[in-house]
Amino acid sequence: MLSFYLSACALLAAFFAAGVMLGRGGAKKDYSLGGRKAGAAGVTGILLGSLVGGASTVGTVQMAYSYGMTTWWFALGGGIGCLLLALRFAVPLRRSRITTIADYLNASYGGGRCGRGIALAATAASSLGTFISICAQFLSCIALLRGVLPLSVPAAALVAALSIWGFVAFGGMKSFAKLGEAKIALLFVTLTACAAAALGWGGFAAMRQNLAFQPWLNPFGRGFVPELGYLASMIVGVFTTQIYIQSFAAAKNLHAARRGAFASALLMPPMGLLGTAVGLSVRARGIEIQPDRVLSWFIMDSFPPLIGGLLWGGVVITVVGCAAGLMLGIATNIAKNMIPRERLADYAARSQNKGPAAALAKAASSISETVLVAIMTAVAALIGIATTGSMILEWSFLSMGLRGAGSFIPFVLAVLKPGLLPPIWALASCCGGLAAMLAWAFARMPGDPLFAGLAVSAAFAAFGALFGKKYLAHHHERGARN
């Protein structure tokens, strides 16, 4: 086992050192946008680097082992989301040169009180949903570490937290884009090797012989509506997650943004199938093991220690990099759209630095993305400790749906049909959709809460598009006559 640990540590150390070197120097804007120099491969690295993480590896194997082919909806939905972005959204988003979703919504709906309200609601929903996904990355990292090391849950969470914070603090978007390319290549090699080991030497025949079609090989094994909800949550989540949109802002040109999104759409679904094969093969062999540790066990059982350590290290890098990218997206969102820096700085100056309120205002006005990442890392680690062993993909589906329930439709209309939806109705669509999803979930109503949120959001948007414009035209006509 010594060679397993040595090879894993060597790979992890090499990636961390590369991140530090790539993150050195450059302007401050390089931290969140990489200087807008990412090529198509860099955009792919940012997109998949934050989309393919613990859910696509540890979580996919865990759910495949527990429920079967239903796990593929995560990767398939993510790929469809990236494809839709590439077909129609990557170019206008890159052309706008706007960094955050909230800024785009604010500008699209005329600024003012309604525009700022939409931006705030979208930021809050996106940040909360993304944070839930970060908690899923912590669950994955804890499972990976405890699968090969005799660590307690708090100790594993601490190691994960330090790794994630260090990746962001010493590199930011510049190193994330560069290492994202290498990370995705490494992950593809890792998953391909694992799937080959799972399907080889009679593995595929064992799955066909020992696993019934229902529920193991049926993609709708848990019902049509739940699986469709998983697919929808992934699509709307991809559209409304800050780091994914930020990848287009970091692109060096329109061509790079579009090609990067297309490449992500092609690469993600096969990754999901590879991970699914691993989970199903372990289930077919009748091995009883804690589901979130299946991937670690499989790697250690199927490969020589030296190779196994490299493969396991590649998965750890994937999880840490994904969490780092999501953290960076939330930090950018909060710092730019939820902290009134100028107002707080003005208050601190007028207060002449007297009293705790002025000191707090001064500190808040100068808070950086790095500090925000440190705070979120600590909170996510505590949540990971409290919920260890839970189903990782369930967290990811919830997070994706929460991000898009309210802001998906106003965002899509802002890109495809600018000016169609009056600002007040866009605000109603955004807040109504989010409120409906949360109310449906807390009331434990049947069906997926995301559908309730999207239905309410669409109803407000449709009403506003049909009658809001007529009201405004009538109002302007009356004003012209008067």
User: Residue 470: pLDDT above 90?
Assistant: no
Q: Residues of the chain with pLDDT > 90: what percent?
A: 38
Whether the Cβ atoms of residue 393 and residue 355 lie closer than 8 Å to each other: no
User: Residue 169: pLDDT above 60?
Assistant: yes
From the list 370, 27, 13, 48, the residue with the least C-alpha distance to 174 is 27
CA–CA gap between residue 166 and residue 158 (Å, rounded): 12
Indicate whether 227 and 347 sit together in one domain: yes
Q: Residues of the chain with pLDDT > 70: what percent?
A: 82
Residue 473 sits in which domain range?
Answer: 416-482
Rounded to 10 deg, the angle between the 60-67 and 392-404 helix axes is 110
Cβ neighbour number for residue 65 with a 10 Å cutoff: 27
Q: Average pLDDT over the chain, rounded to whole?
A: 82
User: Residue 275: pLDDT above 50?
Assistant: yes
User: Residue 373: pLDDT above 90?
Assistant: no
pLDDT at 28: 47
Which of 404, 435, 470 lies at the terminal end of a domain, its last residue? Answer: 404
- Report if residue 367 sits inside a domain: yes
Q: What are 175-205's pLDDT values in tens digits?
A: 555 666 777 888 889 999 999 999 887 778 8
CATH code assigned at 379: 1.20.1730.10
- Report if residue 356 sits inside a domain: yes
Give the residue with greater pLDDT, 335 vs 153: 153
Give the residue with greater pLDDT, 81 vs 52: 81
pLDDT at 313: 92
Which of 369, 404, 439 lies at the terminal end of a domain, its last residue? Answer: 404
Band of the pLDDT at 278, cuts 50, 70, 90? very high
Q: What is the mean pLDDT of the segment spanning 315-335?
A: 81
pLDDT at 23: 58
Indicate whether 342 and 223 sit together in one domain: yes
pLDDT at 375: 86
From the list 84, 78, 125, the residue with the least C-alpha distance to 405 is 125
- Report if residue 364 sits inside a domain: yes
pLDDT at 110: 79
Q: What are 421-435's pLDDT values in tens digits?
A: 899 999 999 999 999
User: Residue 94: pLDDT above 60?
Assistant: yes
Tokens of 447: 């069906």
Tokens of 264: 């992500």
- Report if residue 469 sits inside a domain: yes
Whether the Cβ atoms of residue 78 and residue 234 lie closer than 8 Å to each other: yes
Cα three-residue angle 315-320-323, rounded to 5 degrees: 125
Band of the pLDDT at 253, cuts 50, 70, 90? confident
Whether the Cβ atoms of residue 162 and residue 145 lie closer than 8 Å to each other: no
Q: What is the mean pLDDT of the segment spanning 468-480?
A: 52
Cβ neighbour number for residue 160 with a 10 Å cutoff: 27
Indicate whether 215 and 99 sit together in one domain: yes
Indicate whether 88 and 29 sit together in one domain: yes
Give the residue with greater pLDDT, 141 vs 243: 141
Band of the pLDDT at 30, cuts 50, 70, 90? very low
User: Residue 279: pLDDT above 90?
Assistant: yes
pLDDT at 354: 56
Which of 381, 404, 427 lies at the terminal end of a domain, its last residue? Answer: 404
Q: What are 53-69's pLDDT values in tens digits?
A: 888 899 999 999 999 99
Q: What is the 3-state secondary structure (H, E, C) of the chain?
A: CHHHHHHHHHHHHHHHHHHHHHHCCCCCHHHHHHHHCECHHHHHHHHHHHHCCCHHHHHHHHHHHHHCHHHHHHHHHHHHHHHHHHHHHHHHHHHHCCCCHHHHHHHHCCCHHHHHHHHHHHHHHHHHHHHHHHHHHHHHHHHHHHHHCCCCHHHHHHHHHHHHHHHHHCCHHHHHHHHHHHHHHHHHHHHHHHHHHHHCCCHHHHHHHHCCHHHHHCCCCCCHHHHHHHHHHHHHHHHCCHHHHHHHHCECCHHHHHHHHHHHHHHHHHHHHHHHHHHHHHHHCCCCCCHHHHHHHHHHHHCCHHHHHHHHHHHHHHHHHHHHHHHHHHHHHHHHHCCCHHHHHHHHHHCCCCHHHHHHHHHHHCCCHHHHHHHHHHHHHHHHHHCCCCCHHHHHHHHHHHHHCCCHHHHHHHHHCCCCCCHHHHHHHHHHHHHHHHHHHHCCCCCCHHHHHHHHHHHHHHHHHHHHHHHHHHHHHHHHHC
Tokens of 452: 């309730």
Whether the Cβ atoms of residue 85 and residue 101 lie closer than 8 Å to each other: no
Residue 88, C-beta contacts closer than 8 angstroms, at least 6 positions apart: 415, 416
- Report if residue 143 sits inside a domain: yes
- Report if residue 409 sits inside a domain: no
Indicate whether 347 and 460 sit together in one domain: no
pLDDT at 361: 46
- Report if residue 410 sits inside a domain: no
The gap between the terminal CA atoms of the chain, to the nearest Å, is 86
User: Residue 367: pLDDT above 70?
Assistant: no
- Report if residue 268 sits inside a domain: yes
Indicate whether 149 and 279 sit together in one domain: yes
Tell me how many domains the chain contains. 2
Indicate whether 205 and 119 sit together in one domain: yes
CA–CA gap between residue 74 and residue 400 (Å, rounded): 10
User: Residue 22: pLDDT above 70?
Assistant: no
Q: What are 109-122's pLDDT values in tens digits?
A: 877 788 888 888 88
pLDDT at 282: 93
